[in-house]
């Protein structure tokens, strides 16, 4: 009797699923055009810049006036040995700037959910900085400035006046842009969206559902190769050979 030869099972060939190339083509064609990216960045900056006007009006109403006196040859001096009103305008602008930067960042993140990305970040930061430095502060200082200048021209020695608020440092002008940059960066870091630069992203819902063919068996973010068998799976028994047939 001849010895039995070991039977080798046929090799298993895995075919790559069709979901990989289809998903890749979809991702390549779903990027927004550069014109929309520029429009979102400049448009966001323009809208936030306009919002600097009500911020300046609010700052002028909240910041206290400064008591001054005409000292004759000494000019116009502050009529208070410890004038806290002198720096109160900077403090109020700092507090308002924190709230302004937080609000514009949250509003941009929620309203422009399909346009999140570096362009939105730059637009919000630039808009917040311009809105405070070139809109809010000049407008807040302009209100009541003409009346103050007229008083200075006609005032006599010993006359007092309440000067309108004025900014005395650069720091408060940078606070809104700094806060907006931090808020948007944290929101992007905490978001579970797989791709912030993909149009139609659904914030808070994981993968962008609806961006791929639902008939595909595998999700678009799975591996290109099938999963390996589990560690407890038993190997398939070999097919019976001629030597295993019962003898007559």
pLDDT category at 85 given cuts 50, 70, 90 is confident
The three-state secondary structure class of 42 is helix
Q: What is the pLDDT of residue 205?
A: 45
Q: Are 178 and 170 in contact (CB under 8 A)?
A: no
Neighbouring residues of 186: CB distance < 8 A, sequence distance ≥ 6: none
Q: Which phi and psi (to 5°) does residue 65 adopt?
A: -75, 160
pLDDT (average), residues 30-36: 75
pLDDT (average), residues 213-240: 51
pLDDT (average), residues 6-17: 60
What percent of the chain has pLDDT above 70?
63
CA torsion angle 137 143 149 154 (round to 10): -160
Token pair 């709230």: residue: 99
pLDDT (average), residues 99-110: 97
Q: Are 165 and 63 in contact (CB under 8 A)?
A: yes
pLDDT category at 195 given cuts 50, 70, 90 is low
Single pTM value for the model: 0.67
Single out the residue of 64, 52, 48, 39 nearest to residue 166, CA to CA: 64
């Amino acid at each position: 009797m001849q010895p039995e030869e070991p039977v080798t099972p046929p090799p298993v060939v895995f075919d790559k699923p069709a979901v990989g190339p289809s998903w890749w083509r979809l991702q390549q064609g779903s990027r927004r055009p550069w014109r929309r990216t520029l429009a979102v960045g400049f448009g966001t900056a323009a809208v936030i810049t306009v919002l600097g006007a009500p911020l300046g009006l609010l700052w002028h109403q909240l910041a206290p006036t400064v008591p001054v006196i005409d000292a004759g040859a000494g000019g116009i001096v502050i009529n208070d040995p410890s004038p806290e009103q002198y720096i109160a305008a900077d403090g109020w602008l700092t507090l308002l700037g924190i709230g302004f930067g937080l609000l514009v960042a949250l509003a941009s993140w929620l309203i422009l959910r399909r346009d999140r990305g570096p362009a939105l970040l730059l637009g919000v930061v630039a808009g917040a900085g311009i809105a405070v430095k070139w809109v809010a502060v000049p407008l807040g200082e302009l209100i009541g400035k003409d009346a103050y200048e007229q008083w200075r021209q006609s005032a006599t020695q010993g006359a007092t006046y309440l000067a309108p608020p004025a900014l005395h440092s650069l720091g408060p002008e940078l606070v809104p842009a700094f806060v907006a940059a931090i808020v948007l960066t944290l929101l992007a870091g905490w978001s579970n969206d797989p791709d912030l630069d993909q149009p139609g992203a659904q914030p808070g819902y994981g993968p962008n559902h609806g961006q791929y063919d639902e008939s595909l068996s595998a999700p678009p973010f799975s591996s290109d190769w099938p999963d390996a068998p589990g560690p407890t799976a038993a190997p398939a028994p070999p097919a019976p050979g001629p030597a295993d047939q019962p003898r007559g």
